[in-house]
Structure 1
Amino acid sequence: MKTTPWYKQFWPWFIICVPLSSMIVAVFQIYFALNSPRDLVKDNYYKEGLGINQELGRKQLATDLNIKANLRIDNLTGEILLVTENAHTQTISLQFYHVASASKDFRVTLQKISDNEYRGSLEKTISGNWNLSIESEAGWQMSGRLDLTLTDSLEF
């Protein structure tokens, strides 16, 4: 009876492939863990936690003042129009927070154009999901989430 060498048989290669594939997957996981951005984890989480109490107070102030707002973004022209009730401020700061990457975050200052309208402009077109926060120098703040794939307006 003639036997074939081990490297020409199926089972030794099957047994070798299982741990080898596990090692390859582990190398990829280690590479991605070391080279991926860490935007979702805050380095100063304690200070961020303390700041939440101040932020809640600013949101409560907007509720107490009965401030309502409707935001519309025109991606073709880059125009941002904010129509408010009871805002009574000269400028409003609109902060765009990207849902996945902090490097895409930016701020737009909206100028008062009439009693209850504020206007600003985008420097570039945007798409996808964004968390938005509007703040005034009077101390109030409101926030919401805008999905530009579905709509171009948001009501606060």
Structure 2
Amino acid sequence: MKTPWYKEPWAWLVFFLPLSAVIAGITTLFIALSDPDDLVVGDYYKKGKAINLEITKIKQAQKLGISFGLKFVDGELVIKPTGIEKKFPLLNVNFYHPTLEEKDFYLALTQDGSGNFRHTIEQNVDGKWRMTITPFENNWKIQNVITLPQTEFIDIKPRPIEAN
């Protein structure tokens, strides 16, 4: 007597291999559609024009001799001007995480009585960050790649994008 096909182990193996490939393909498609890559830029021409404008702002900061010292210890960020002796009414400070956009954050800082800019940061910011500093007028820009925490002051100077 012949056994039915569904009782043969080889028949199930033949069905299982293509079925597992289909399941893996559907899973891959679901992951790709539900979690798009944030690092892809759609309009390269506009992005290129914006980069040229940013380079002009960095060169302006170099020409003015603007620089800062930065320290981050026990959740307290301290930025002190070390370049020109100009008072800044407000500094815009942006922190960009290298891979996770949702970790990016922005600070608007004013000077305290000693001339430093201070802020207490509650979230965990350990690791590598791209940081930008611009004034309220937005006529110059400093950007650096830094690693936090920093127990001693580090120099934050205007550098072209390639030097980071």
Q: Give the structure-2-normalised TM-score.
A: 0.74
Amino acid at match of 2:72: I
More strand by share: 1
Q: Displaced runs of 4+ in structure 1, greater than 6 A?
A: none
Alpha-carbon distance, 1:5 to partner = 3.7
Runs (5+) with no aligned partner, structure 2: 157-164
Q: Identify which range, 26-35 or 60-69, moves more after superposition.
A: 60-69
Residue 126 (structure 1) aligned to one of 124, 141, 146: 124
Query: Identity over aligned residues, as a percent?
Result: 29
Mapped pair 1:19 → 2:18: yes
Query: Which position in structure 1 is the counterpart of 2:134?
Result: 135
Measured in 2, the distance between the counterparts of 1:135 and 1:43 equals: 26
What CA RMSD, in Å, does the superposition of the two structures yield over aligned residues?
2.6
The alignment covers a number of residue pairs equal to: 150
**Highest relative contact order (Cα 8 Å, sep 6+), 1 or 2?**
2
Query: Which position in structure 1 is the counterpart of 2:95?
Result: 96
Amino acid at match of 2:94: Q
Runs (5+) with no aligned partner, structure 1: none
Describe how 1:1-156 pairs up with structure 2 within 5 A. 4-74=3-73, 76=74, 78-87=75-84, 88-90=86-88, 91-113=90-112, 117-122=115-120, 124-127=122-125, 128-136=127-135, 137=137, 139-148=139-148, 151-152=149-150, 154-156=154-156
SS of 1:124 mapped into structure 2: coil
Q: Give the structure-1-normalised TM-score.
A: 0.77
Alpha-carbon distance, 1:43 to partner = 4.0
